Amino acid sequence: MKKFLFIAFASLVTLATDTSCMRDNFYTVTFKSQGGTPVNSVWVREGSRIRRPDDPTKEGSTFLGWYYTSRSGVKWNFETNAVYSNLILYAHWNSNGLDALISLVSNAETLLQADYTVGSWVPLQRALGAAKTITDNPNTATAAQISAAATALQTAFDNLVYIGDLNTAIAVSEALTASNYTPASWSALQTALSAAKAVAVNPNATKSDVERVVAALQTAFDGLVPA
């Protein structure tokens, strides 16, 4: 009788062990559409492939696929990749107008602050910062946000007041020696130079202000008479 009980107990232990080994592990796959239409999470058996869900949509954007990370990284391959743990996949998008915004940002970053008035430079930097927030996180931006950022940055570009030539003209004039020219022609140059320098440091100088004093300074320079 004792022998029978021992055999029965051993059989139960073996059965329990076998059942435990046969039990499947399931993992949750979460889809983050990053501004697109929502995609439901799924449970997947360990070692199995994910059934590709319907592609999400996003206004003004083209869906590129599902990726391991929110910004960049490797694209998930539904044909070959298998699941061995809980997983989050992120939708990546190519937003219409994004390339144009990236180009504007690139151009803005090549400019030198010294070549522009403070009053026009500050708005450019503000628009540039907003645009870079989008270009650094393109998958979270809507087409409307991209368009608005591009418009704001382009407007700031158009409103820049360039003083590079003015600064050059001032530097050239200041390098001259008074004794080399007649008093009258030198006086005319100094008058034009003073006006030019006032505009150069005026944060709110306009394009027409700059053009006017540059032209006046050039005229005075051309009118210098050697002593």
pLDDT for the residue numbered 14: 46
- Count of domains in the chain? 3
* Domain final residue, candidates 40, 62, 95: 95
The answer to whether residue 3 scores a pLDDT higher than 70 is no
126 in a structural domain: yes
Model's pTM, two decimal places?
Answer: 0.64
54 and 117 both lie in a single domain: no
Residue, of 202 and 147, whose pLDDT is higher:
202
pLDDT for the residue numbered 23: 58
Give the C-alpha separation, 5 to 100, whole Å: 80
Phi first, then psi: give them for residue 135, nearest 5 degrees: -65, -25
Q: Domain containing 131: what range?
A: 98-158
107 and 123 both lie in a single domain: yes
Confidence of residue 79 (pLDDT cuts 50, 70, 90): very high
215 in a structural domain: yes
3-state secondary structure the chain: CHHHHHHHHHHHHHHHHHHHHHCCCEEEEEEECCCCCCCCCEEEECCCECCCCCCCCCCCEEEEEEECCCCCCCECCCCCCECCCCEEEEEEEEECCHHHHHHHHHHHCCCCHHHECHHHHHHHHHHHHHHHHHHHCHHHCCHHHHHHHHHHHHHHHHCCCECHHHHHHHHHHHCCCHHHECHHHHHHHHHHHHHHHHHHCCCCCCHHHHHHHHHHHHHHHHCCCEC
Q: Are 108 and 157 in contact (CB under 8 A)?
A: yes
3 in a structural domain: no
**Residues near 57 by Cβ (< 8 Å), separated by ≥ 6?**
36, 37, 63
| Model confidence pLDDT, tens digit, residues 151-202 | 999 999 989 999 999 999 999 999 999 999 999 999 999 999 999 999 999 9
132 and 154 both lie in a single domain: yes
86 in a structural domain: yes
* Domain final residue, candidates 140, 158, 176: 158
121 in a structural domain: yes
227 in a structural domain: no
87 and 131 both lie in a single domain: no
27 and 80 both lie in a single domain: yes
5 in a structural domain: no
10 in a structural domain: no
pLDDT for the residue numbered 59: 80
| Model confidence pLDDT, tens digit, residues 84-142 | 999 999 999 877 788 889 989 999 999 999 999 999 999 999 999 999 999 998 888 88
Residue, of 62 and 214, whose pLDDT is higher:
214
pLDDT for the residue numbered 138: 82
81 and 110 both lie in a single domain: no
| Model confidence pLDDT, tens digit, residues 4-60 | 444 444 444 444 444 444 457 999 999 999 989 999 999 999 999 999 999 999 887
130 and 118 both lie in a single domain: yes
105 and 138 both lie in a single domain: yes
207 and 152 both lie in a single domain: no
Residue range 141-150: average pLDDT? 88
* Domain final residue, candidates 122, 141, 158: 158
